[in-house]
Structure 1
Amino acid sequence: MDIPHEPVRPALPAVRRVSAFAPLGWCLHALTDLQRAWLPALFYGVAFVVMGFLLFGLFARSPVMVMTLSAAFLLLGPFLAAGLYAIARDLERTGTASLRVSLTAWRGNVQSVTLFAALLAIMTFIWFRVSLLVFALFATGPLPTLDSLLTQMFAPADATLLVLWFGIGLAFAALVFVVSVVSIPMMIDREIDAFSAMLVSLRAVRANLPAMLVWAALLAGLALAGFASGTLGLAVTMPIAGLASWHAYRDMVSS
Protein backbone atom coordinates (compact mmCIF):
# COMPACT_ATOMS: atom_id res chain seq x y z
CA MET A 1 0.00 0.00 0.00
CA ASP A 2 1.33 3.39 -0.98
CA ILE A 3 1.86 5.75 1.93
CA PRO A 4 1.12 9.39 1.08
CA HIS A 5 3.97 11.76 1.76
CA GLU A 6 3.82 15.42 2.59
CA PRO A 7 5.46 17.57 -0.09
CA VAL A 8 8.96 18.61 0.90
CA ARG A 9 9.20 22.37 1.32
CA PRO A 10 12.30 23.79 -0.38
CA ALA A 11 14.97 24.99 2.03
CA LEU A 12 15.10 28.74 2.48
CA PRO A 13 18.13 30.58 1.09
CA ALA A 14 20.95 31.02 3.58
CA VAL A 15 21.64 34.48 4.97
CA ARG A 16 25.15 35.93 5.00
CA ARG A 17 26.60 38.36 7.52
CA VAL A 18 27.90 41.68 6.20
CA SER A 19 29.88 44.49 7.79
CA ALA A 20 28.19 47.51 9.31
CA PHE A 21 29.54 49.65 6.47
CA ALA A 22 28.34 47.37 3.66
CA PRO A 23 25.40 49.72 2.88
CA LEU A 24 27.91 52.35 1.73
CA GLY A 25 29.18 49.86 -0.83
CA TRP A 26 25.63 49.13 -1.97
CA CYS A 27 25.11 52.83 -2.64
CA LEU A 28 28.38 53.03 -4.58
CA HIS A 29 27.27 50.07 -6.71
CA ALA A 30 23.95 51.85 -7.24
CA LEU A 31 25.74 54.97 -8.51
CA THR A 32 27.64 52.80 -10.99
CA ASP A 33 24.39 51.16 -12.11
CA LEU A 34 22.79 54.59 -12.47
CA GLN A 35 25.60 55.66 -14.80
CA ARG A 36 25.32 52.47 -16.85
CA ALA A 37 21.52 52.54 -17.19
CA TRP A 38 20.62 56.14 -16.47
CA LEU A 39 17.72 56.33 -18.90
CA PRO A 40 15.54 53.46 -17.57
CA ALA A 41 16.54 54.27 -13.98
CA LEU A 42 15.61 57.94 -14.31
CA PHE A 43 12.26 56.92 -15.79
CA TYR A 44 11.39 55.58 -12.36
CA GLY A 45 12.94 58.61 -10.69
CA VAL A 46 10.75 60.94 -12.73
CA ALA A 47 7.72 58.79 -11.87
CA PHE A 48 8.47 59.33 -8.17
CA VAL A 49 8.78 63.08 -8.78
CA VAL A 50 5.42 63.17 -10.56
CA MET A 51 3.79 61.29 -7.68
CA GLY A 52 5.37 63.76 -5.27
CA PHE A 53 4.07 66.74 -7.25
CA LEU A 54 0.58 65.24 -7.32
CA LEU A 55 0.75 64.59 -3.59
CA PHE A 56 1.73 68.14 -2.68
CA GLY A 57 -0.48 69.70 -5.36
CA LEU A 58 -3.69 67.87 -4.50
CA PHE A 59 -3.33 68.26 -0.74
CA ALA A 60 -1.49 71.58 -0.47
CA ARG A 61 -4.19 72.92 1.88
CA SER A 62 -4.11 69.84 4.11
CA PRO A 63 -0.67 69.35 5.66
CA VAL A 64 -1.96 66.41 7.69
CA MET A 65 -2.86 64.58 4.50
CA VAL A 66 0.49 65.50 2.95
CA MET A 67 2.41 64.12 5.92
CA THR A 68 0.26 61.00 6.14
CA LEU A 69 0.41 60.22 2.43
CA SER A 70 4.14 60.98 2.30
CA ALA A 71 4.67 58.31 4.93
CA ALA A 72 2.35 55.95 3.03
CA PHE A 73 4.37 56.69 -0.11
CA LEU A 74 7.51 55.49 1.70
CA LEU A 75 5.77 52.38 3.07
CA LEU A 76 4.92 51.34 -0.49
CA GLY A 77 8.44 52.18 -1.68
CA PRO A 78 9.74 48.58 -1.75
CA PHE A 79 7.02 47.60 -4.23
CA LEU A 80 7.20 50.80 -6.28
CA ALA A 81 10.93 50.20 -6.82
CA ALA A 82 10.47 46.70 -8.29
CA GLY A 83 11.50 47.87 -11.75
CA LEU A 84 14.74 49.26 -10.35
CA TYR A 85 15.59 45.88 -8.84
CA ALA A 86 15.13 44.36 -12.29
CA ILE A 87 17.45 46.96 -13.83
CA ALA A 88 20.20 46.16 -11.32
CA ARG A 89 19.62 42.43 -11.85
CA ASP A 90 19.95 42.67 -15.62
CA LEU A 91 23.07 44.84 -15.36
CA GLU A 92 24.62 42.19 -13.14
CA ARG A 93 23.67 39.31 -15.44
CA THR A 94 24.05 40.74 -18.93
CA GLY A 95 25.63 44.17 -18.59
CA THR A 96 22.59 45.88 -20.12
CA ALA A 97 19.14 46.86 -18.89
CA SER A 98 15.85 47.51 -20.67
CA LEU A 99 13.01 49.69 -19.47
CA ARG A 100 10.51 47.40 -21.17
CA VAL A 101 11.81 44.34 -19.32
CA SER A 102 11.91 46.19 -16.00
CA LEU A 103 8.27 47.25 -16.33
CA THR A 104 7.21 43.61 -16.36
CA ALA A 105 9.73 42.30 -13.83
CA TRP A 106 6.99 41.13 -11.48
CA ARG A 107 5.51 38.73 -14.06
CA GLY A 108 8.11 36.05 -13.36
CA ASN A 109 6.66 35.52 -9.88
CA VAL A 110 3.36 37.31 -10.20
CA GLN A 111 1.45 35.50 -7.46
CA SER A 112 4.03 36.13 -4.74
CA VAL A 113 4.71 39.74 -5.74
CA THR A 114 0.98 40.48 -5.91
CA LEU A 115 0.40 38.98 -2.47
CA PHE A 116 3.27 40.97 -0.99
CA ALA A 117 2.00 44.16 -2.63
CA ALA A 118 -1.44 43.49 -1.14
CA LEU A 119 0.09 43.08 2.32
CA LEU A 120 1.97 46.37 1.91
CA ALA A 121 -1.26 48.05 0.78
CA ILE A 122 -3.09 46.74 3.86
CA MET A 123 -0.36 48.03 6.18
CA THR A 124 -0.41 51.37 4.39
CA PHE A 125 -4.20 51.62 4.74
CA ILE A 126 -3.95 50.82 8.47
CA TRP A 127 -1.27 53.51 8.84
CA PHE A 128 -3.49 55.99 6.99
CA ARG A 129 -6.43 55.39 9.33
CA VAL A 130 -4.31 55.35 12.49
CA SER A 131 -2.54 58.53 11.46
CA LEU A 132 -5.76 60.46 10.91
CA LEU A 133 -7.16 59.07 14.17
CA VAL A 134 -4.13 60.32 16.11
CA PHE A 135 -4.57 63.82 14.71
CA ALA A 136 -8.30 63.75 15.41
CA LEU A 137 -7.85 62.64 19.04
CA PHE A 138 -4.80 64.61 20.10
CA ALA A 139 -4.90 67.88 18.14
CA THR A 140 -5.38 70.70 20.67
CA GLY A 141 -5.60 73.56 18.22
CA PRO A 142 -4.97 74.33 14.55
CA LEU A 143 -3.16 71.47 12.88
CA PRO A 144 0.53 72.13 12.16
CA THR A 145 1.51 73.32 8.70
CA LEU A 146 4.40 71.85 6.78
CA ASP A 147 6.42 75.04 7.30
CA SER A 148 5.90 75.04 11.07
CA LEU A 149 6.12 71.31 11.65
CA LEU A 150 9.56 71.24 13.28
CA THR A 151 8.84 74.35 15.36
CA GLN A 152 5.50 73.07 16.64
CA MET A 153 6.92 69.64 17.33
CA PHE A 154 8.69 71.15 20.35
CA ALA A 155 5.76 73.33 21.42
CA PRO A 156 4.02 72.03 24.57
CA ALA A 157 0.56 72.10 22.98
CA ASP A 158 1.44 69.87 20.03
CA ALA A 159 4.49 67.96 21.25
CA THR A 160 2.49 64.93 22.39
CA LEU A 161 0.56 64.79 19.12
CA LEU A 162 3.56 64.97 16.83
CA VAL A 163 5.83 62.75 18.91
CA LEU A 164 3.07 60.12 19.02
CA TRP A 165 2.49 60.48 15.27
CA PHE A 166 6.17 60.10 14.47
CA GLY A 167 6.50 57.21 16.92
CA ILE A 168 3.65 55.25 15.36
CA GLY A 169 4.95 56.06 11.88
CA LEU A 170 8.39 54.83 12.86
CA ALA A 171 6.89 51.57 14.14
CA PHE A 172 5.07 51.01 10.84
CA ALA A 173 8.21 51.87 8.87
CA ALA A 174 10.31 49.49 10.96
CA LEU A 175 7.83 46.66 10.38
CA VAL A 176 7.79 47.23 6.63
CA PHE A 177 11.58 47.51 6.56
CA VAL A 178 12.10 44.24 8.42
CA VAL A 179 9.82 42.19 6.16
CA SER A 180 10.78 43.86 2.87
CA VAL A 181 14.49 44.67 2.99
CA VAL A 182 15.28 41.76 0.63
CA SER A 183 11.81 40.35 -0.11
CA ILE A 184 10.84 41.85 -3.45
CA PRO A 185 14.33 41.64 -5.00
CA MET A 186 14.31 37.97 -3.98
CA MET A 187 10.86 37.34 -5.47
CA ILE A 188 11.96 38.97 -8.72
CA ASP A 189 15.19 36.97 -8.77
CA ARG A 190 13.86 33.50 -7.91
CA GLU A 191 10.73 31.41 -7.42
CA ILE A 192 9.85 31.91 -3.76
CA ASP A 193 6.56 32.62 -2.03
CA ALA A 194 5.87 35.91 -0.27
CA PHE A 195 5.88 34.54 3.28
CA SER A 196 9.15 32.66 2.79
CA ALA A 197 10.69 35.82 1.33
CA MET A 198 9.55 37.80 4.37
CA LEU A 199 11.03 35.17 6.68
CA VAL A 200 14.38 35.37 4.89
CA SER A 201 14.19 39.16 5.14
CA LEU A 202 13.58 38.90 8.88
CA ARG A 203 16.57 36.57 9.24
CA ALA A 204 18.76 38.94 7.21
CA VAL A 205 17.86 41.84 9.49
CA ARG A 206 18.43 39.79 12.64
CA ALA A 207 21.84 38.57 11.41
CA ASN A 208 22.98 42.05 10.35
CA LEU A 209 21.56 44.53 12.84
CA PRO A 210 24.44 47.07 12.67
CA ALA A 211 24.36 47.10 8.86
CA MET A 212 20.57 47.32 8.86
CA LEU A 213 20.61 50.36 11.14
CA VAL A 214 23.05 52.06 8.78
CA TRP A 215 20.98 50.99 5.77
CA ALA A 216 17.73 52.26 7.29
CA ALA A 217 19.40 55.60 8.07
CA LEU A 218 20.69 55.88 4.50
CA LEU A 219 17.26 55.09 3.04
CA ALA A 220 15.64 57.67 5.31
CA GLY A 221 18.28 60.21 4.34
CA LEU A 222 17.74 59.59 0.63
CA ALA A 223 13.98 59.98 1.03
CA LEU A 224 14.30 63.15 3.11
CA ALA A 225 16.75 64.65 0.63
CA GLY A 226 14.30 63.95 -2.16
CA PHE A 227 11.36 65.54 -0.36
CA ALA A 228 13.44 68.47 0.94
CA SER A 229 14.17 69.50 -2.64
CA GLY A 230 10.47 69.84 -3.38
CA THR A 231 10.41 66.20 -4.57
CA LEU A 232 12.71 67.01 -7.53
CA GLY A 233 15.54 65.19 -5.81
CA LEU A 234 13.50 61.99 -5.85
CA ALA A 235 14.50 61.68 -9.52
CA VAL A 236 17.96 60.67 -8.31
CA THR A 237 17.59 59.54 -4.70
CA MET A 238 14.88 56.94 -5.35
CA PRO A 239 16.77 55.20 -8.18
CA ILE A 240 19.84 55.07 -5.93
CA ALA A 241 17.76 53.54 -3.12
CA GLY A 242 16.14 50.99 -5.44
CA LEU A 243 19.34 49.94 -7.20
CA ALA A 244 21.22 49.72 -3.91
CA SER A 245 18.46 47.51 -2.49
CA TRP A 246 19.25 44.91 -5.13
CA HIS A 247 22.88 44.86 -4.04
CA ALA A 248 21.76 44.58 -0.40
CA TYR A 249 19.81 41.47 -1.34
CA ARG A 250 22.69 39.95 -3.32
CA ASP A 251 25.14 40.65 -0.52
CA MET A 252 23.04 39.20 2.30
CA VAL A 253 21.24 36.26 0.64
CA SER A 254 23.08 33.32 -0.91
CA SER A 255 22.47 32.38 -4.53
Structure 2
Amino acid sequence: MTQSRPHGAPTLRAPTFNDLSESLRSGLKDFSAAPGLGLFFASFFVLAGLLMAGITVLTGTTYWLILAVMGYPLVGSLAALGFYETSKRLQDDDDVTFAAITRSVWTQRGGQLPWLAAIIVVVFLFWFFLGHTIFALFLGLSPMTNVLSTLDVFLSPTGLMMLGFGTAVGGVFAMIVFAMSVLGMPVLLDRDVDFVTAIITSIGAVVGKPQVYLIWGISVAVITLIAMLPFFLGLFVAMPILGHASWHLYQRVTTAEPAAVQNPA
Protein backbone atom coordinates (compact mmCIF):
# COMPACT_ATOMS: atom_id res chain seq x y z
CA MET A 1 0.00 0.00 0.00
CA THR A 2 1.27 3.50 -0.81
CA GLN A 3 0.56 6.92 0.54
CA SER A 4 0.90 10.04 -1.52
CA ARG A 5 1.18 13.73 -0.84
CA PRO A 6 1.14 16.43 -3.50
CA HIS A 7 4.64 17.66 -4.25
CA GLY A 8 5.44 21.37 -4.15
CA ALA A 9 3.61 24.42 -2.91
CA PRO A 10 -0.06 24.76 -3.85
CA THR A 11 -1.49 27.43 -6.10
CA LEU A 12 -3.58 29.70 -3.92
CA ARG A 13 -6.33 32.13 -4.78
CA ALA A 14 -7.16 35.26 -2.82
CA PRO A 15 -9.65 34.57 -0.01
CA THR A 16 -12.93 36.40 0.41
CA PHE A 17 -14.79 37.35 3.56
CA ASN A 18 -17.29 34.66 2.65
CA ASP A 19 -14.44 32.13 2.87
CA LEU A 20 -13.86 33.21 6.47
CA SER A 21 -17.48 32.73 7.51
CA GLU A 22 -17.78 29.42 5.66
CA SER A 23 -14.55 28.18 7.23
CA LEU A 24 -15.86 28.97 10.70
CA ARG A 25 -19.08 27.13 9.88
CA SER A 26 -17.09 24.11 8.70
CA GLY A 27 -14.92 24.34 11.83
CA LEU A 28 -18.00 24.12 14.04
CA LYS A 29 -19.25 21.17 12.01
CA ASP A 30 -15.96 19.29 12.42
CA PHE A 31 -15.89 19.96 16.15
CA SER A 32 -19.42 18.57 16.40
CA ALA A 33 -18.37 15.51 14.38
CA ALA A 34 -15.34 14.73 16.57
CA PRO A 35 -15.81 16.53 19.90
CA GLY A 36 -13.60 14.16 21.87
CA LEU A 37 -10.58 14.81 19.69
CA GLY A 38 -11.27 18.53 19.75
CA LEU A 39 -11.41 18.61 23.54
CA PHE A 40 -8.26 16.50 23.81
CA PHE A 41 -6.11 18.79 21.67
CA ALA A 42 -7.70 21.88 23.22
CA SER A 43 -6.66 20.60 26.64
CA PHE A 44 -3.04 21.34 25.75
CA PHE A 45 -3.94 25.02 25.38
CA VAL A 46 -5.87 25.06 28.65
CA LEU A 47 -3.20 23.22 30.64
CA ALA A 48 -0.45 25.42 29.22
CA GLY A 49 -2.39 28.53 30.18
CA LEU A 50 -3.09 27.32 33.70
CA LEU A 51 0.53 26.26 34.16
CA MET A 52 1.74 29.62 32.90
CA ALA A 53 -0.58 31.50 35.26
CA GLY A 54 0.19 29.22 38.21
CA ILE A 55 3.96 29.63 37.90
CA THR A 56 3.79 33.42 37.76
CA VAL A 57 1.44 33.61 40.75
CA LEU A 58 3.42 31.17 42.91
CA THR A 59 6.70 32.90 42.16
CA GLY A 60 5.29 36.37 42.73
CA THR A 61 6.16 37.42 39.19
CA THR A 62 2.69 38.03 37.83
CA TYR A 63 3.97 40.95 35.78
CA TRP A 64 5.23 38.24 33.42
CA LEU A 65 1.64 37.08 33.01
CA ILE A 66 0.77 40.10 30.90
CA LEU A 67 3.63 39.29 28.52
CA ALA A 68 2.56 35.66 28.39
CA VAL A 69 -1.09 36.52 27.72
CA MET A 70 -0.12 38.93 24.94
CA GLY A 71 2.22 36.37 23.41
CA TYR A 72 0.08 33.29 24.07
CA PRO A 73 -1.75 33.44 20.70
CA LEU A 74 1.64 33.29 18.96
CA VAL A 75 2.08 29.64 19.91
CA GLY A 76 -1.51 28.67 19.17
CA SER A 77 -0.57 27.21 15.82
CA LEU A 78 1.74 24.69 17.51
CA ALA A 79 -1.17 22.71 18.95
CA ALA A 80 -3.40 23.14 15.89
CA LEU A 81 -1.90 20.19 14.04
CA GLY A 82 -4.32 17.77 15.69
CA PHE A 83 -7.26 19.86 14.50
CA TYR A 84 -5.86 20.02 10.96
CA GLU A 85 -5.36 16.26 10.81
CA THR A 86 -8.87 15.61 12.12
CA SER A 87 -10.45 17.92 9.56
CA LYS A 88 -8.35 16.44 6.79
CA ARG A 89 -9.46 12.93 7.65
CA LEU A 90 -13.10 13.94 8.02
CA GLN A 91 -12.90 15.57 4.61
CA ASP A 92 -11.35 12.41 3.11
CA ASP A 93 -13.80 10.15 4.96
CA ASP A 94 -10.78 8.51 6.60
CA ASP A 95 -10.21 6.99 10.04
CA VAL A 96 -10.75 9.60 12.76
CA THR A 97 -10.15 7.45 15.81
CA PHE A 98 -7.99 8.80 18.63
CA ALA A 99 -5.22 6.29 17.84
CA ALA A 100 -5.13 7.17 14.14
CA ILE A 101 -5.04 10.93 14.69
CA THR A 102 -2.42 10.90 17.44
CA ARG A 103 -0.25 8.45 15.48
CA SER A 104 -0.40 10.67 12.41
CA VAL A 105 0.45 13.78 14.41
CA TRP A 106 3.34 11.97 16.12
CA THR A 107 4.87 10.94 12.81
CA GLN A 108 5.25 14.63 11.90
CA ARG A 109 8.04 14.97 14.48
CA GLY A 110 10.62 13.85 11.94
CA GLY A 111 9.41 16.10 9.14
CA GLN A 112 9.48 19.80 8.39
CA LEU A 113 6.81 20.91 10.87
CA PRO A 114 9.14 20.94 13.91
CA TRP A 115 11.33 23.49 12.13
CA LEU A 116 8.44 25.91 11.72
CA ALA A 117 7.37 25.19 15.29
CA ALA A 118 10.90 25.99 16.50
CA ILE A 119 10.84 29.33 14.70
CA ILE A 120 7.54 30.20 16.38
CA VAL A 121 8.92 29.29 19.80
CA VAL A 122 12.01 31.44 19.20
CA VAL A 123 9.80 34.38 18.23
CA PHE A 124 7.72 33.84 21.38
CA LEU A 125 10.81 33.78 23.59
CA PHE A 126 12.21 36.87 21.91
CA TRP A 127 8.89 38.60 22.55
CA PHE A 128 9.29 37.75 26.24
CA PHE A 129 12.75 39.28 26.25
CA LEU A 130 11.65 42.38 24.38
CA GLY A 131 8.51 42.71 26.50
CA HIS A 132 10.59 42.64 29.66
CA THR A 133 12.82 45.33 28.18
CA ILE A 134 9.77 47.48 27.45
CA PHE A 135 8.66 47.01 31.07
CA ALA A 136 12.07 48.12 32.27
CA LEU A 137 12.20 51.16 30.01
CA PHE A 138 8.79 52.49 31.02
CA LEU A 139 8.25 51.16 34.54
CA GLY A 140 11.72 50.23 35.73
CA LEU A 141 11.62 52.74 38.56
CA SER A 142 8.05 51.96 39.62
CA PRO A 143 7.54 49.81 42.74
CA MET A 144 5.63 46.84 41.35
CA THR A 145 5.79 43.22 42.38
CA ASN A 146 2.27 42.00 41.65
CA VAL A 147 0.05 43.38 38.92
CA LEU A 148 -2.97 41.97 40.71
CA SER A 149 -2.47 44.44 43.57
CA THR A 150 -0.86 47.36 41.71
CA LEU A 151 -3.08 47.89 38.71
CA ASP A 152 -2.90 51.65 39.28
CA VAL A 153 0.65 51.54 37.91
CA PHE A 154 -0.71 50.62 34.50
CA LEU A 155 -3.28 53.43 34.66
CA SER A 156 -0.61 56.06 35.14
CA PRO A 157 0.50 58.07 32.06
CA THR A 158 3.73 56.08 31.87
CA GLY A 159 1.88 52.80 32.34
CA LEU A 160 -0.59 53.61 29.58
CA MET A 161 2.26 54.56 27.26
CA MET A 162 3.94 51.27 28.06
CA LEU A 163 0.77 49.31 27.36
CA GLY A 164 0.21 51.12 24.08
CA PHE A 165 3.78 50.68 22.87
CA GLY A 166 3.97 47.07 24.08
CA THR A 167 0.68 46.22 22.39
CA ALA A 168 1.91 47.68 19.12
CA VAL A 169 5.17 45.72 19.30
CA GLY A 170 3.32 42.56 20.30
CA GLY A 171 0.96 43.08 17.36
CA VAL A 172 3.92 43.14 14.98
CA PHE A 173 5.23 39.87 16.42
CA ALA A 174 1.77 38.32 16.19
CA MET A 175 1.39 39.35 12.56
CA ILE A 176 4.80 37.89 11.67
CA VAL A 177 3.95 34.53 13.22
CA PHE A 178 0.44 34.62 11.78
CA ALA A 179 1.75 35.34 8.27
CA MET A 180 4.20 32.44 8.52
CA SER A 181 1.82 29.88 9.99
CA VAL A 182 -1.73 30.64 8.82
CA LEU A 183 -1.10 28.63 5.64
CA GLY A 184 2.43 27.44 6.39
CA MET A 185 1.43 24.71 8.82
CA PRO A 186 -1.45 23.35 6.72
CA VAL A 187 0.86 23.30 3.70
CA LEU A 188 3.45 21.25 5.60
CA LEU A 189 0.81 18.75 6.68
CA ASP A 190 -0.75 18.50 3.25
CA ARG A 191 2.22 18.80 0.89
CA ASP A 192 5.70 17.43 0.31
CA VAL A 193 7.57 20.74 0.77
CA ASP A 194 10.28 22.15 3.01
CA PHE A 195 9.46 24.59 5.79
CA VAL A 196 11.08 27.55 3.99
CA THR A 197 8.81 27.04 0.98
CA ALA A 198 5.79 26.73 3.27
CA ILE A 199 6.68 29.98 5.07
CA ILE A 200 7.25 31.86 1.81
CA THR A 201 3.97 30.54 0.40
CA SER A 202 2.05 31.60 3.49
CA ILE A 203 3.62 35.06 3.72
CA GLY A 204 3.09 35.61 0.00
CA ALA A 205 -0.60 34.78 0.32
CA VAL A 206 -1.05 37.15 3.27
CA VAL A 207 0.78 39.97 1.50
CA GLY A 208 -1.34 39.36 -1.60
CA LYS A 209 -4.64 39.85 0.26
CA PRO A 210 -3.75 41.55 3.55
CA GLN A 211 -7.17 42.97 4.40
CA VAL A 212 -8.93 39.59 4.51
CA TYR A 213 -6.11 37.82 6.32
CA LEU A 214 -5.82 40.73 8.76
CA ILE A 215 -9.49 40.38 9.66
CA TRP A 216 -8.99 36.64 10.07
CA GLY A 217 -5.94 37.11 12.27
CA ILE A 218 -7.65 39.73 14.44
CA SER A 219 -10.73 37.53 14.76
CA VAL A 220 -8.64 34.55 15.85
CA ALA A 221 -6.69 36.66 18.37
CA VAL A 222 -9.79 38.31 19.86
CA ILE A 223 -11.70 35.03 20.16
CA THR A 224 -8.65 33.39 21.74
CA LEU A 225 -8.12 36.19 24.26
CA ILE A 226 -11.80 36.26 25.23
CA ALA A 227 -11.78 32.47 25.63
CA MET A 228 -8.81 32.79 27.99
CA LEU A 229 -10.63 35.04 30.45
CA PRO A 230 -12.63 32.41 32.37
CA PHE A 231 -9.51 30.56 33.60
CA PHE A 232 -8.68 29.51 30.01
CA LEU A 233 -11.71 27.20 29.97
CA GLY A 234 -13.25 28.89 26.95
CA LEU A 235 -10.36 27.50 24.92
CA PHE A 236 -12.00 24.08 25.10
CA VAL A 237 -14.53 25.41 22.60
CA ALA A 238 -12.68 28.21 20.82
CA MET A 239 -9.54 26.27 19.89
CA PRO A 240 -11.20 23.31 18.14
CA ILE A 241 -13.47 25.56 16.10
CA LEU A 242 -10.65 27.91 15.12
CA GLY A 243 -8.24 25.04 14.44
CA HIS A 244 -10.66 23.20 12.19
CA ALA A 245 -11.66 26.48 10.53
CA SER A 246 -8.02 27.27 9.74
CA TRP A 247 -7.69 23.99 7.86
CA HIS A 248 -10.85 24.67 5.89
CA LEU A 249 -9.66 28.17 5.00
CA TYR A 250 -6.51 26.61 3.57
CA GLN A 251 -8.57 24.10 1.62
CA ARG A 252 -10.88 26.78 0.27
CA VAL A 253 -8.05 28.93 -1.11
CA THR A 254 -6.14 26.00 -2.62
CA THR A 255 -6.95 25.92 -6.32
CA ALA A 256 -4.45 23.50 -7.86
CA GLU A 257 -3.28 20.01 -7.06
CA PRO A 258 0.32 19.33 -8.15
CA ALA A 259 1.37 15.81 -9.00
CA ALA A 260 1.69 13.53 -5.99
CA VAL A 261 4.86 11.87 -4.81
CA GLN A 262 4.55 8.17 -4.11
CA ASN A 263 6.17 6.97 -0.89
CA PRO A 264 6.38 3.21 -0.43
CA ALA A 265 4.88 2.05 2.83
Q: Taking structure 1 as the reference length, what is the TM-score of the superposition?
A: 0.88
Structure 2: which 5+ residue stretches go unaligned?
1-6, 258-265
Over 3 Å counting, the alpha-carbon distance change for 1:221 and 1:147 in structure 2 is: farther
What amino acid is aligned across from residue 68 of structure 2 in structure 1?
A: L
Post-superposition shift, 1:110? 3.0
Distance 1:87 1:203 in 2: 26
Partner of 2:179: 178
Q: Which one-letter code corresponds to 1:202 in the other structure?
A: I
Q: What is the rounded CA distance, in whole Å, between the counterparts of 2:149 and 2:183 in structure 1?
A: 35
Give 1:145's aligned residue: 147
Which residue number in structure 1 is paired with residue 118 of structure 2? 118
Relative to structure 1, the CA distance from residue 152 to residue 25 in structure 2 (aligned partners, 3 Å threshold; closer, same or farther) is: farther
Matched with 1:30 is: 27
Q: Using the alignment, how far apart are the partners of 1:11 and 1:43 within structure 2?
A: 32
* Structure of higher RCO (CA pairs closer than 8 Å, 6+ residues apart): 2
Q: Which residue of 2 aligns with 1:81?
A: 80
Q: Is the 8 A contact 1:21 1:214 kept in 2?
A: no
Q: Secondary structure at the match of 2:9?
A: coil
SS state at 2:92 partner? helix
1:23-62 CA-to-partner distances (Å, cap 9, x unmatched) read: 1211110000000000111111222212211111121232
- Mapped pair 1:62 → 2:61: yes
SS in structure 2 at match of 1:137 = helix
What does 1:77-116 align with in structure 2 at a 5 Å threshold? 77-94=76-93, 96-103=95-102, 104-105=104-105, 107-108=107-108, 110-116=110-116
Bigger shift: residues 22-31 or 153-162: 153-162
The whole-number CA distance in structure 1 between the counterparts of 2:62 and 2:196 is: 35
How far the C-alpha of 1:71 sits from its partner, in A, is 3.2
Match of 1:7 in 2: none
Bigger CA drift: 193-202 or 219-228?
219-228
Query: In structure 2, what is the Cα distance between the partners aligned to 1:78 and 1:111?
Result: 16
Residue 152 to residue 57, structure 1, CA distance change in 2 (3 Å): same
In 1, the alpha carbon distance for the partners of 2:154 and 2:19 equals 34
Between the aligned partners of 2:115 and 2:150, the Cα distance in structure 1 is 39
- Aligned residue for 1:248? 249
Supply the AA of the counterpart residue of 1:120: I
RMSD of aligned residue pairs (Cα, Å):
2.1
| 3-state SS, counterpart of residue 227 of structure 2 | helix
Report the CA distance shift for 1:147/1:22 in structure 2 as closer, same or farther (over 3 A). Answer: farther
Amino acid of the structure 1 residue aligned with 2:63: V
Check whether the contact 2:44–2:79 (CA below 8 A) recurs between aligned residues. Answer: no
Secondary structure of residue in 2 paired with 1:59: helix
CA contact (8 A) 1:109 1:191 kept: no
CA distance in 1, matches of 2:249, 2:150: 36
How many residue pairs match? The answer is 245
Preserved CA contact (<8 Å) 1:76 1:124:
yes
Give the gaps of 5 or more residues in structure 1.
1-9
TM-score, scaled to structure 2? 0.84
Q: How has the CA–CA distance of structure 1 residues 146 and 244 changed in structure 2, closer, same or farther, with 3 Å as cutoff?
A: farther
Report the 3-state secondary structure (helix = DSSP H, G, I; strand = E; otherwise coil) of the residue aligned with 1:21: helix
Cα contact 1:52–1:231 (8 A) shared by 2: yes
